[in-house]
């Protein structure tokens, strides 16, 4: 067992050092990765640019994008421990209305490096752009790879979710009458319904597409152990490093935009001090109808219409 990390005082290094608790590097991820020794990182979890012309990226040809991703993934593979995992969170590249799922594009890179895919997790959420010529996109994926080994780290218990029918019992056989489900909860499955970070999310910063911390907490808890290094080459405003330090892991990340680096450092320090507000894992989704939000009542369903409907219903019941 590795000793507890105190984060006291909460220090963040600008460059990699094996003795650091957290490293946030401003610059190209390849430059950071060059500082990290072989087989030293237990979990790489990231969301690269999708090459769709967001404010933080320049749209390039898909071939160039593929080559750039390949170089970064190769470096991530080099720094990964033998029992480690790589989780690459992506959506679609969109070109002139045609969508190209980036997980399909990038899969061969991992496969050719000898990695094995363990899950393709569907991350679904409710908010995003409304499309008019196709269905609005409401999910993205996380492709999770390990090396071709049986002893990769996978801790299921810390990420179990409540059972649907915890009171269910075996009705026959030697265990008849005993509770049939695991009291610690059930496996969360590979479809994760976790709100994305939009305007009224407690974690919202000025970054246009930050991770909800709870999404990364699931990977940190299940695919690493206390004291391990967790790395995010495309760190944005720090969500992966935050998820790592929240759970006694050490975080490393790189980000090219100085403003995002500044926010990432502020948020990470607060997380190290235990002051950062994040949406707690397992919080039920906000249901505006249940919450009695008036905006859920369509103004065009007037009382008049309602009365007419009731009149029609009573006429249907009228038997002369």
Q: Would you state the structure tokens that stand for residue 160, as one six-digit string?
A: 């179990």
Least distance in angstroms from the C-beta of 64 to ligand SAM: 13
Q: Does 28 bind ligand SAM (CB under 6 A)?
A: yes
- Scan residues 55-74 and list those touching ligand SAM (CB under 6 A): 56-57
- Scan residues 171-210 and list those touching ligand SAM (CB under 6 A): 207, 209-210
Q: Does 255 bind ligand SAM (CB under 6 A)?
A: yes
Least distance in angstroms from the C-beta of 122 to ligand SAM: 18
Q: Could you tell me which residues are beta bridge partners of residue 143?
A: 88, 120
Least distance in angstroms from the C-beta of 32 to ligand SAM: 8
Least distance in angstroms from the C-beta of 239 to ligand SAM: 3
Q: Does 29 bind ligand SAM (CB under 6 A)?
A: yes
Stretch that binds ligand SAM, among 136-144, 254-262, 278-286, 308-316 (CB under 6 A): 254-262
Instruction: Report the residue from 51, 69, 81, 254 that binds ligand SAM according to the rule CB under 6 A.
Output: 254
Q: Does 260 bind ligand SAM (CB under 6 A)?
A: yes
d(CA 220, CA 155): 10
Least distance in angstroms from the C-beta of 71 to ligand SAM: 10
Least distance in angstroms from the C-beta of 278 to ligand SAM: 12
CA distances 166 to 14, 103, 186, 248, 284, Å, are: 48, 36, 10, 31, 18
Instruction: Report the residue from 85, 236, 244, 252 that binds ligand SAM according to the rule CB under 6 A.
Output: 236
Instruction: Report the residue from 106, 237, 243, 244 that binds ligand SAM according to the rule CB under 6 A.
Output: 237
- Scan residues 145-174 and list those touching ligand SAM (CB under 6 A): none
Instruction: Report the residue from 85, 239, 268, 278 that binds ligand SAM according to the rule CB under 6 A.
Output: 239
Which residues lie closer than 8 Å to 203 by C-beta, 6 or more apart? 197, 210, 212, 213, 239, 277, 278, 279
Residue where the block lists tokens 């930050």: 210
Q: Does 106 bind ligand SAM (CB under 6 A)?
A: no
Q: How many residues bind ligand SAM (CB under 6 A)?
A: 19
Least distance in angstroms from the C-beta of 63 to ligand SAM: 17
Least distance in angstroms from the C-beta of 46 to ligand SAM: 7
Q: What burial class does residue 257 get, using C-beta atoms within 10 Å of its C-beta: 0-12 exposed, 13-18 middle, 19+ buried?
A: middle
Stretch that binds ligand SAM, among 117-125, 177-185, 233-241, 270-278 (CB under 6 A): 233-241
Residue nearest to ligand SAM (CB): 236
Stretch that binds ligand SAM, among 5-13, 251-259, 273-281, 286-294 (CB under 6 A): 251-259
Which residues lie closer than 8 Å to 252 by C-beta, 6 or more apart? 16, 22, 23, 25, 32, 36, 41, 229, 230, 231, 232, 241
Torsion, Cα 289 291 295 300, to 10 degrees, reads 40
Q: Does 47 bind ligand SAM (CB under 6 A)?
A: yes
Binding site for ligand SAM (CB under 6 A): 28-29, 47, 49, 56-57, 207, 209-211, 234, 236-237, 239, 254-257, 260
């Amino acid at each position: 067992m590795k000793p507890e990390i105190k984060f006291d005082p909460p220090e963040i290094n600008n460059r990699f050092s094996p003795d650091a608790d957290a490293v946030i590097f401003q610059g190209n991820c390849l430059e950071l990765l060059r500082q990290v020794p072989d087989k030293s990182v237990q979990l790489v979890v990231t969301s690269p640019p999708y090459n769709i012309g967001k404010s933080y990226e320049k749209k390039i040809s898909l071939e160039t994008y593929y080559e750039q991703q390949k170089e970064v993934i190769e470096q991530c593979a080099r720094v990964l421990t033998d029992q480690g995992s790589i989780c690459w969170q992506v959506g679609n590249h969109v070109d002139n209305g045609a969508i190209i799922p980036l997980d399909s594009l990038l899969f061969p890179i991992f496969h050719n490096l000898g990695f094995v895919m363990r899950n393709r997790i569907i991350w679904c959420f409710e908010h995003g752009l409304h499309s008019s010529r196709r269905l609005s996109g409401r999910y993205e994926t996380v492709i999770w790879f390990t090396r071709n080994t049986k002893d990769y780290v996978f801790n299921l218990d810390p990420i179990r979710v409540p059972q649907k029918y915890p009171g269910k019992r075996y009705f026959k056989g030697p265990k008849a009458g005993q509770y049939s489900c695991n009291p610690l909860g059930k496996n969360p499955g590979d479809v994760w319904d976790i709100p994305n970070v939009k305007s009224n999310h407690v974690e919202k910063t000025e970054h246009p597409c930050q991770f909800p911390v709870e999404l990364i907490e699931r990977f940190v808890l299940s695919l690493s152990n206390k004291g391990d290094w967790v790395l995010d080459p495309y760190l944005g405003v720090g969500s992966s490093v935050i998820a790592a330090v929240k759970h006694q892991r050490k975080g490393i990340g790189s980000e090219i935009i100085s403003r995002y680096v500044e926010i990432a450092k502020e948020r990470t320090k607060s997380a190290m001090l235990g002051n950062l507000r994040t949406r707690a894992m397992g919080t039920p989704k906000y249901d505006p109808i249940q919450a009695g939000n008036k905006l859920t009542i369509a103004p065009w369903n007037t009382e008049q219409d309602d009365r007419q409907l009731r009149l029609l219903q009573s006429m249907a019941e009228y038997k002369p």
